[in-house]
Amino acid sequence: MTPQRLERIHQTLSLRQPDLTVLTDEVHKDRNLSAIVRTCDAFAVPEVHCVWPGDQYRLRRNQTAGAGTWVDVQTHPAIDTAIDHLQQQGFTICAAHFSERAIDFRDYDFTRPTALMLGNEKEGISEQAAELADEHLIIPMQGMVQSFNVSVAAAIILSEAQRQREVAGLFEHNRLDEETYQRLLFEWCQP
């Protein structure tokens, strides 16, 4: 490992935002999931939480792990327990979801601990998950098509989260706890 590479790893770790995460509710296409994970890495999101469709839980958990060398991809068996797990940790669950109670994503305060929940390519967010979510966010659309590709929606919203966190100075100091920092440093330095 070159000193430049090590420096880059330290730099990246020191920008990571432990209080910003993504939760996927049965997003099933690998290419969408890997685009989401890639976007998370770029916007300093350290973890992605996934719930898989139907009985793909076992099948997928390893496959997906590969998608993120730089992002921890965690699998949950069901959406209700995943939401509960994140709420227990203090996250506000924001469903990217069209509904009566949805607000424009730019009006949400992303400096709060936030888990952005994204829905399945066909069905969107399940009824149960929509109900359990603390907030619903929409990206206003001006065309004929009814929705964005899910990885595109994720990127548009996370870009706004990044912007707000930059303005708020949340990238100015390391925000990972010492244990997580050292664990990731060790993992990322493996050849």
Residues 75-134 that bind its own copies (CB under 8 A): 106
79 near 118, Cβ under 8 Å? no
For residue 98, state whether it binds ligand SAM (rule: CB under 6 A).
Answer: yes
- What is the 3-state secondary structure of 42-95? HCCCCEEEEECCCCCHHHHHHHHHCCCCCCEEEEECCHHHHHHHHHHCCCEEEE
Nearer to its own copies, 14 or 87 (CB): 14
Choose the one of its own copies, ligand SAM, none that binds residue 51, judging by a C-beta under 5 to 8 angstroms depending on kind: none
Helices (H) and strands (E) in the chain, counts: 7, 7
Nearer to its own copies, 142 or 190 (CB): 142
Specify which residues 74 forms β-bridges with. 49
Kindly state the DSSP code that residue 116 receives in the 8-state scheme.
E
Least distance in angstroms from the C-beta of 61 to its own copies: 22
Least distance in angstroms from the C-beta of 7 to its own copies: 12
Q: Contact residues for ligand SAM (CB under 6 A)?
A: 96-98, 118-119, 121, 124-125, 138-139, 141, 147-148, 150, 153
